Structure 1
């Protein structure tokens, strides 16, 4: 278990550095305003998650998933894990659950962020 935790931690550090670098690079390239740096990171991370998920199954390399999927891609973008979970629900013939998961994740995450901002503004004002 400790080795798996180290794999996730090391991969997460690598993914976070990649996300930060991509964000800085894209912001310098296209400027600020619309959060354009986040969108390509989420799309790219989701694409790579799909490729690596199938690759690890087909090549019987799932032992690398804690490092690659949870670690690197989780650090790069948690949106990729969200995308995989939603897709697997859909692929398992549960479109209602997939759509509910997507809707609840987006709405409740934004609501959670808004509540955190509201509470923090009151606490730190």
Structure 2
């Protein structure tokens, strides 16, 4: 089964909107909380995990989540919104700047709270994954 141009466009448009939302959200959190810790990246990753839990639970009512809504929202929009690469770069930057405690806090909070946010989103949507 090949991928269609329509599917590619859904992911591309969703990713474009997700990337723009990531920049706006990251900048907003940096303005509110400062840049001594990567609050913006943490916020987008937690919000994205929450939203993906909600979407997965809502769209995956007993069937594989491979429809157009999944491609646009989960793969495109939320894939463009969340960012492992920025998380990794900022964590390494903290570590190399002698802020190992903040680097470990970033890893721990992103992973622990991210899984919790995903579960909360799924639970609030009324189901599981």
Out of 14, 18, 21, the residue aligned to residue 17 of structure 2 is 14
Q: Report matched runs for 1:45-56 at 5 Å.
A: 45-56=48-59
Unaligned stretches of 5+ residues in structure 1:
80-105, 115-125
Out of 69, 72, 76, the residue aligned to residue 71 of structure 1 is 76
> In structure 2, the residue corresponding to 1:58 is in which secondary structure?
coil
Q: Name the TM-score, length of structure 2 as normaliser.
A: 0.58
Q: Which has the higher contact order (CA 8 A, sep 6+)?
A: 2
Q: CA deviation at 1:59?
A: 8.3
Q: Matches of 2:6 and 2:62 in 1, distance apart?
A: 22
1:123 is matched with none
Q: Computing the radius of gyration over CA atoms, which structure comes out larger, 1 or 2?
A: 1
- Structure-2 change in CA distance of 1:59 and 1:68 (3 Å): farther
Larger helix fraction of residues: 1
Unaligned stretches of 5+ residues in structure 2:
94-129
Aligned length: 84
Q: Name the TM-score, length of structure 1 as normaliser.
A: 0.59
